[in-house]
Structures are given as structure tokens and as C-alpha cells.
Structure 1
Amino acid sequence: MMKKSLLFTLLMGVLFSLGSCVSKKEFTRLQSDYNNVQSLYHQSQVDLATSRAQAKSLEERLEDARRENAELKRQYAALQGSLDKSLLQNNQGSINISKLVDEINASNKYIKQLVEAKSKSDSLNLVLSNNLTRSLSRDELQEVDVKVLKGVVYVSLADNMLYRSGSYEINDRAKTTLSKISKILSDYKDFEVLVEGNTDNVPISRPNIRNNWDLSALRASSVVQMLQNEFGIAPNRLSAAGRGEYNPVSTNDTELGRQRNRRTQIIITPKLDQFLDLIDKAPETK
């Protein structure tokens, strides 16, 4: 502002000093030029202030743009990390699914083998049961019960058709029945034979027989030894067991019930080697 006043004073001094030398017209022209210069100077100041304001605004906008760019880079890096993690998990998931499918296929194959083995065993048991039934006479079937239960063939013989009362000696009539059963057993050499003695709960006291445990075990042993010694069944297929009065199939409160409980069972089972081999080959799963 001081520069502007000084310039104005100098110009006016020059004009007055030249007033005597220049015409009024020339003075008017000079005055007009001065006004123009003054106007241009003022405009230049305004333009300079505007330019400075615009420059500051551009700098602020540039700084905002830089911050936005940095934030976008950060978000991009985060998204890339999430994508990489998802791809890794997806690949791992694909591997796990593939392993699971393989395990399911192996399990299905194993189950199929078990089912086939079980079906084969059931078929053999059914044929064995039918052969036993057909080999016995009608009278014998009145005192011998043949059935298949849970993959096992049970031949239940009544006490009064096998032994003398209170004894473990096998009578002659029973030998005929046991010979028929032995003939079928000889045809099925892969089956194991368990002979199981059972009694009622009536106490017994005989020489060398202390109780029903003894009686049931001795009766089972008598049948096993007859199967071996008289009918040639391999002893490594045979087992004898006594269960005394503790495995009843009927009440001991009636004579008929006690009669049913006094029985000897020949339990015929397929050898478990095939099933045990399958169990050993069971697929491992995680």
C-alpha cells in the first residue's frame, strides 16, 4: 500500500513538473494510462491471491488423494491375504474330502465283505439245520429241537432221552440219535461243536456228583467223548461245558418247566477265522 502511494506521488509530481510543458490533452491521456496501470495492478493482486488459494486447495486435495491411495493399498493387501487364506483352506478342504471319499469307499468294500461272509455263514447254517432235521425221525424230533439263532445252530436234546435219571451215562436209544447228528457234523468239518449241559434247580447228591454243576459238566463231557470215540469227530472241534441250573429256558416251579430245563445242547458254530481275518483287515479311519 505504501508502494502504491509512493508511486502515485511520484507520478503526480512528474505531471505537475511537466504541466507547463505538456498540453491538457496529453495530461488527460497520461492520467488515463495511470488509471489503467492502477487497475491492472489491482487485478494482478486479486489474481495472485486467487492463485495462492487455488494452489493451497490443490495441495490439500493432493494430500487427501494420497491418504485415500494408502487406505486402498491397505485394503487391497488385506483382501489379498484373505484370498490367499481362502485358497489354502479350499485346497486343504479338497484334500480332506478326497481322503474322506477314499475312506468311505474302503469302508463300503469292507462292509460288503462282511455282509457276504455273513450271508455265506447264514446259508451254511440253514443248510446244516435242514440236513439235521431231515436226518432225524418223527419220534426223535419230539425230543430234539433244531433251530438257528443269531448265526448259530442249536440242537437241544431232552434229558430223559439221553441219560438215565440222575446219571451222566448215555443210554442206547440216544446213541442212535447222536450217530445221525455226528454224520451231519462230519460233513461240515469247518464248524466247531460246543456241548453244553443244563439242569433244573432240584439239588442232587450222588457218589462223585456234588451238585448240578458237576452233573451238567459230566453230561456234556459224556456226549463229547461219545462223539469223539464212537463217531470219529475230531476232538479239536469239540468243547464241553456245564451251566448247571443257571441257564433255564422255563420256570422250575412246574414239572414240565423243570423237564425243559434239563437238556443238553449241541451248539454248532462256523469257525471264526474268516471273520477274524476280515476284522484284521478293517480299514483305518480318522
Structure 2
Amino acid sequence: MIKKVALAVVVLGLTTSCVSKKIYNDLENKYADLKKERNALADENGALSKSKNQLEQEKTSLQTELDKAKAERDKLANDYAATKKSLDNLKASYAALEKNSNDALDSNMKKNRELLAELEAKQSKLTAEQERLDKLKADLASSTSRLAELEKMMADKEAGMNKLKETLSKALNAFEGKGLTVEHRNGKVYVSMENKLLFESGSWTVGSEGKKAVTAVGKVLGDNPEISVLIEGHTDNDKITGTIGGGVENNWDLSTKRATAIVNILSENKKVDKKNLTAAGRGEYAPLMANETAEGKAKNRRIEIILTPKLDEISKLMSEL
């Protein structure tokens, strides 16, 4: 709109040398008002962007919404085609009625009047169909554009998570074969650390080697502030008896204390935004293997650091589809 007003001022200046000062001033004031409005909208947009950080959705959910949007786009395309066909039929009918009207005008005025009335009704319907067709075309174009934007944003997020996985793998290369793995799946990066790297049995104090690994993760997170981090503690199904260290009540409690210990180490890096960190204890209820063997129990005793891209912009775009 601002560009249009500015162009109008230039055109007026080129096409006439007699533009009144009032008209010029009105246009200039309107241009200034529009700039203020644009700046206000930009400020409001910035404020809204800051409030988006509470939104988080899983990529699988977004994929479902994307499929729905694609289906809606396809439906609009089909509706467009059907409406265009109807429009063509109406135009043909209109032409036939008009010809019949001209042929019968002299011989039958009554029939001609009825035919004219029918023509008017057809014309009205034709106009309505044309308006609907134009709206469908606009909706289809808008939906297609937003879908393309959404697909690009999702592809960018996926590429970013691939790069993050590679960065973490390089940073944690020294711990390969020591109970640490880095995986990228379902749009997230999972850093899994077995307890043999982190904790003594029944303890939630991180050993020196484990602290090095967690600190390395924290360094990568500090360079990627737009990542949400969930730290999950997991145990085997051995019941806790007696008092361990400062005392824990059960596996829920132990897994939570261990997750919190990892959060505390990550928080030591001043570049890591603590608002992005969440500690959770899952106890024995999300095992990787059956707890029937020593090997299975060892695999189940672990910390998982789950890195998820913030999806506020994608969520906003999905809500507009």
C-alpha cells in the first residue's frame, strides 16, 4: 500500500505541473501514516513472535496437518474444475437462449419476455458462479503458496537437525563405544548415554568422564539456542531398597534426580538458555530391552537427551491454512 501511494505521488508529479499543495500534502501525510502503521504492525509482529515460544508440536502432528492441507488444496482444485465446467455450460446455455430470443422476438412477444427473464436469471447465476470461481482460484493459489512455504520450513528444520546430529557426533566422537549414541529420527536428535558412562549404581552424581560428555553436549546446545531440550532419566526394574546416598524413594525418584543432575551440568554453560531445558524421570517404564538379562537392564539404565526444533513459525503457518 505504501509503495502504491508513493507511486501515485511520483505519477502526479510527472503528469502535471499544477498539482495543488493540498493534494500533495494529503498524499504525503497518508504515506507517513501508512509508514507508521507498517512500523506498528512490525512492532506488534515482533511482540507476537516472542510470545510464540510456548508452542510446541511434534513433527508427526505437523505432517498430519500438512497432509490435510494438501487434501484441502486438491479438493479446491477439483471444486475449481467442476465450477469452471458449470460456468462453461451456463455460457453455452446463455448463448442458446439469446439466439432463441432473437429468432422469436417478432412472432411471440410473450415468449420473448419469458425468455428474457430466464436470461436474466441465468446471467445472475453466471455472475455468481464467476465470483465463486474467482474466489476458488484465489483460495487455491493462497493454499498452494502456504503449502510450499510450510514444506520449505519443514525441510529447513529437518536439514538443521541433520546438521545438529553431525555436529554432536563429531563433538562426542571420543565417547564412541563407551555407552553413548547419537541418532536422528522423527525430526529429533537423540543423545543416549548409558549409566556406565555417567553414574555409579544407585547414585545420581555424574562421574568425571560422563561430565565431559555432558559438557560437550552443552557446548553444542549453546551454539543452537533455538532447540528445545528434554532430558529423560531411565532405570531398570530393580526395586530400590534401603537408603541410597541422600535417599531415594523409588525408580521414579532416582531417574528424576539423574535427569536433574544432567540439567545442572548443561546449565553451567552460560550460553545455554535454561528456558529450553526440561528434566523428566521415567523410571522403569520406557525400557529399550527386556529387563530379564543383565545386558537388557544395562541398556535400560540410561539418560536420553532429546533435541527438538522449535516449531512456532510452522505452527502459526498451519493455523492459517
| Counterpart in the other structure of 1:236 | 275
Alignment partners' CA distance in 2, 1:261 and 1:72:
93
Structure number with bigger Rg: 1
Q: Does 1:211 align with 2:253?
A: no
User: Match for 1:143 among 174, 179, 183?
Assistant: 179
| Counterpart in the other structure of 1:247 | 286
Alignment partners' CA distance in 1, 2:193 and 2:208:
14
Task: State the Cα distance separating 1:146 from its structure 2 match.
Answer: 0.7
Amino acid at match of 2:317: L
The Cα offsets for residues 86-145 of structure 1, whole Å up to 9 and x where unpaired, read as 221121111111111111111111111111111111111111100111122354344111
Q: Does 1:134 align with 2:170?
A: yes
**SS across alignment from 1:84:** helix
Q: Does 1:88 align with 2:127?
A: no
Q: Does 1:171 align with 2:207?
A: yes
Task: State the Cα distance separating 1:75 from its structure 2 match.
Answer: 4.3
TM-score (norm 1): 0.68
| Counterpart in the other structure of 2:52 | none
Task: State the Cα distance separating 1:211 from its structure 2 match.
Answer: 1.3
User: Match for 2:148 among 90, 109, 112?
Assistant: 112
Amino acid at match of 1:269: T
Maintained 8 Å contact 1:182/1:231: no
Maintained 8 Å contact 1:217/1:242: yes
Amino acid at match of 1:218: K
| Counterpart in the other structure of 1:184 | 220
User: Match for 2:313 among 264, 274, 277?
Assistant: 274
Structure 2 CA distance for partners of 1:182 and 1:206, relative to 1, 3 Å: farther
Task: State the Cα distance separating 1:206 from its structure 2 match.
Answer: 4.5
Alignment partners' CA distance in 2, 1:73 and 1:258:
97
TM-score (norm 2): 0.61
Would you say how many aligned residue pairs link Structure 1 and Structure 2? 213
What RMSD, in angstroms, separates the aligned Cα atoms of the two structures? 2.3
Amino acid at match of 1:278: L
| Counterpart in the other structure of 1:48 | none
Alignment partners' CA distance in 2, 1:89 and 1:142:
75
| Counterpart in the other structure of 1:201 | 237
Task: State the Cα distance separating 1:276 from its structure 2 match.
Answer: 3.3
Structure 2 CA distance for partners of 1:90 and 1:243, relative to 1, 3 Å: same
Structure 2 CA distance for partners of 1:83 and 1:224, relative to 1, 3 Å: same
Alignment partners' CA distance in 1, 2:271 and 2:108:
93
Amino acid at match of 1:234: D
- Report the identity percentage: 31
Task: State the Cα distance separating 1:241 from its structure 2 match.
Answer: 0.7
Alignment partners' CA distance in 2, 1:86 and 1:174:
79
Task: State the Cα distance separating 1:83 from its structure 2 match.
Answer: 2.5
